[in-house]
Amino acid sequence: MKKLIAAAAVVIALAAGVGIYLNTGVSAAPASTFVLLDGSKKSTEDLKGKVTLVNFWATSCVTCVAEMPKVIATYDKYKAQGYDTLAVAMSYDPPSYVVNFAETRKLPFQVAIDNTGSVAKAWGDVKLTPTTYIVNKRGEIVKRYVGEPDFAELHRLIEKLLAEV
């Protein structure tokens, strides 16, 4: 019964557009290959050395579209300090929609398309969007959000992680 109540609370919170922080503990980011819009590839290893926000999203996700200006503003605020963003479009998102979104919104960070769904599966079987991970300079996931994050809290975390050696 407790599990049912907890699950219902998560569903209600997500329906209300409230980001849920799920404590996953610190763990290594899963080995993945991200295929970027220009056809080049980036691996999980490439994330090391920077604090990186990895955002699983879809053009059909209302919350994803609504939070994107805040994701862009966060990137712009911290990019010169060793911060990066990688937006990963879900496998069901038509590539032409993703390209159009990235171009018309002038996304300043790299965008990948998870054509096969293997990246979402490796990163905890992501099914709900947006799902956002914060990866530290050592390539470890330190936080996971399902739904839109509290950006003030997210900025405090980014600043703390950027200050780490």
Q: Which domains does the chain have, with CATH numbers?
A: 19-163 (3.40.30.10)
Peptide bond into 130 cis (omega under 30): yes
Q: Where are the beta strands (DSSP E) in 25-161?
A: 27-28, 33-35, 41-43, 51-57, 83-89, 110-113, 131-135, 140-146
pTM given for the model: 0.85
Q: Are 86 and 34 in contact (CB under 8 A)?
A: yes
- Percent of the chain having pLDDT more than 90? 84
Distance CA 52, CA 34 (A): 14
Q: Mean pLDDT throughout 68-93?
A: 98
What are the pLDDT digits (tens) for 154-163? 999 999 999 9
Please report where in the chains the tokens 């290893």 appear, as a residue.
45
pLDDT of 116 > 60? The answer is yes
